[in-house]
Chain A
Amino acid sequence: MHALLDKLLLHITDECLTVYRWQRRRLSRLDVFRWGAQDGGDLQRFGTLLDAFRKTPALALVDMADEDFQPATLPHVYGAARTNMAERNLQRLYRDLPYRRCDHQGRQREGRRDDIVLYSAITSPELPARWLHIVTRHHVPLCGLHSAPHLSAWVAKRLAIRAGHVLMVSHHGAGIRYTYLDRGHVRFSRLIVCREQEPAALAAMIGDEAAHTRTYLLNSRVLARDAALEVVILAEAELAALLAVPPDTPSLRHTVLDVDAALQAGQFVRCGDGNAGDAMFLSALANARGGYPLAAPESRCWMLLRMRWAIFAASATVAVASAALSAGNLLEVAVMRDEREPLRALEISYRLRDQEMRARLPQRSVGADAMRSLVELHARINRDGPAPDYLLYALSFALESAPDIELRRLTWEAVGEQAVAREDMNDAVGSDEDVRGASLLGIERPVAALLTVDGRVSATDQSHRATLTAVRRFVDALASVRDVRIQIVREPLDVAPERRLRIEDRADTEGARGFSVTVRYRPASQS
Chain B
Amino acid sequence: MSAAQHPLGPALLRTPIMVLALVCVAGGLALVASGWLQAHQQRELNDLRERVAHARDELERMHVEADLLSAYETRFDALLANGLTGGEDRLVWMERLAAIERRHRAAQFRYEVSPRRRFEALPGFPLGPYVLSASSVEVFANFLHEGDLLGFLDGLRARYHGMVVPQRCALERLHEEGSRHDPLYPRIGLHCRFQWMSLKERAP
Contacts and interface: CB of A to CB of B under 8 A. Distances in A.
Contacts of B171: 409-411
A48 B105 CA distance: 142
Contacts of B63: 357
A187 interface: no
Interface in B124-149: 124-130, 132, 134, 136
Given A304-B8, A322-B31, A440-B167, A373 B126 contact: yes
Nearest to A334: B41
A179 B107 CA distance: 143
Given A321-B27, A388-B166, A372 B68 contact: yes
A141 B6 CA distance: 12
A311 B79 contact: no
A54 B42 contact: no
A435 interface: yes
Interface stretch (A102-110, A243-251, A379-387): A379-387
B122 A386 contact: no
B42 A412 contact: no
A408 B172 contact: yes
A357 B59 contact: yes
Contact of B166 (A312, A315, A386, A436): A386
A218 B86 CA distance: 129
Interface in B154-176: 157, 161-163, 165-173
A346 interface: yes
Given A374-B76, A381-B162, A385-B162, A318 B20 contact: yes
Given A333-B37, A350-B56, A430-B168, A308 B13 contact: yes
A442 interface: yes
Given A346-B52, A381-B165, A409-B170, A339 B76 contact: no
Interface string B52-96: 100110110011111011011101100100001100000000000
B58 A326 contact: no
B196 to A, nearest CB: 11
B66 A361 contact: yes
Given A312-B16, A375-B79, A325 B23 contact: no
Contacts of B183: none
A377 interface: yes
Given A54-B8, A381-B197, A315 B16 contact: yes
B49 interface: yes
A343 B126 contact: no
Interface residues of A, number: 83
Contacts of A347: 48, 51-52, 55
A361 B62 contact: yes
Contacts of A337: 41
A366 B128 contact: yes
Contacts of A346: 52, 55
A366 B8 contact: no
B48 A344 contact: yes
Contacts of A407: 173
* Most chain A beta-carbon contacts within 10 A, residue among B10, B28, B163, B166: B166
Contacts of A382: 161-162
Contacts of A358: 62
Interface string A116-131: 0000000000000000
Contacts of A316: 23
Contacts of A326: 27, 30-31, 33-34
Contacts of A435: 134, 136, 167, 195
Contacts of B98: none
B7 interface: yes
Contacts of B170: 409-412
A304 B10 contact: yes
A409 B37 contact: no
Contact of B19 (A305, A311, A367): A311
A433 B143 CA distance: 32
B113 interface: no
Given A322-B31, A343-B49, A442-B165, A371 B68 contact: yes
A386 B167 contact: yes
B122 A340 contact: no
Contact of A414 (B59, B62, B167): B167
Nearest to A297: B3
A392 B166 CA distance: 14
B173 A408 contact: yes
Given A54-B7, A314-B20, A409-B171, A368 B126 contact: no
Nearest to B165: A385
B151 interface: no
Contacts of B178: none
Given A344-B48, A412-B170, A375 B30 contact: no
Interface string A436-475: 1010111110000000000000000000000000000000
B13 to A, nearest CB: 6
Contact of A139 (B8, B24, B197): B8
B66 A357 contact: yes
Contacts of A97: none
A373 B127 contact: yes
A342 to B, nearest CB: 10
B38 A375 contact: no
A329 B37 contact: yes
Given A318-B27, A336-B45, A378 B136 contact: no
Interface string B1-30: 001001111101101110110011011101
A442 B122 CA distance: 12
Contact of A311 (B6, B17, B130, B168): B17
A88 B6 CA distance: 37
Given A377-B132, A385-B165, A386-B165, A368 B41 contact: no
A204 B37 CA distance: 83
B166 A414 contact: yes
A483 interface: no
A450 B180 CA distance: 33
A382 B161 CA distance: 8
Contact of B167 (A140, A351, A413): A413
Nearest to B78: A375
10 contacts: A54-B8, A304-B12, A304-B13, A332-B42, A333-B38, A350-B56, A353-B59, A364-B73, A376-B125, A413-B169
Interface of B: 3, 6-10, 12-13, 15-17, 19-20, 23-24, 26-28, 30-31, 33-35, 37-38, 41-42, 44-45, 48-49, 51-52, 55-56, 58-59, 62-66, 68-69, 71-73, 75-76, 79, 84-85, 117, 119, 122-130, 132, 134, 136, 150, 153, 157, 161-163, 165-173, 195, 197, 199
